[in-house]
Amino acid sequence: MISEKISQIKKFYYKHKRLPSYAEMLKIFGLSSKKSIYDIVYKLIDVGLLKKEGKKLAPTTKFFSLPVLGLVKAGFPILADETRDYLSLDDYLIEDPQSSFLLRVSGDSLVEVGIFEGDYVVINKTKTAYPGDIVLAEIDGEWTLKILRKDQQGSPYLQPANPRYPPLYPKLKLDIFGIVKAVIRKLRN
Partner DNA sequence: TAGTATAGTAAACATTTGTTCACTTTGTCA
Partner DNA sequence: TGACAAAGTGAACAAATGTTTACTATACTA
- What are the backbone angles phi and psi of residue 39, rounded to the nearest 5°? -60, -45
> What number of chain residues touch a copy of itself (CB under 8 A)?
74
Taken in order 80, 86, 88, 93, the sign of the CA dihedral is: negative
Is 109 in the active site?
yes
Report, in Å, the least distance between residue 50 CB and DNA.
Answer: 10
Task: Give buried/exposed letters for 94-113 (b at 16+ CB in 10 A, else e).
Answer: beeeeebeeeebeeebbbee
Nearer to DNA, 18 or 173 (CB): 18
**Phi, psi for 27 (deg, rounded to 5):** -65, -50
Residue among 25, 37, 44, 63 that touches a copy of itself (CB under 8 A): 63
Q: Report DSSP state, residue 168.
A: B
Contact 127, 136 (CB under 8 A): no
HSE, side-chain direction, 13 A CA sphere, residue 4:
5
Shortest gap between Cβ of 19 and DNA (angstroms)?
Answer: 8
Which does residue 37 touch among DNA, a copy of itself, none (CB within 5 to 8 A, set by kind)?
DNA
Binding of a copy of itself by 103 (CB under 8 A): yes
Q: Which of residues 48-107 bind DNA (CB under 7 A)?
A: 52, 55-57
Q: Which of 18, 38, 68, 102 binds DNA (CB under 7 A)?
A: 38
- State in angstroms the smallest separation of the CB of 96 from DNA: 26
Active-site pick, 32, 55, 146, 181: 146
Which positions lie near DNA, rule CB under 7 A?
21-24, 31-41, 52, 55-57
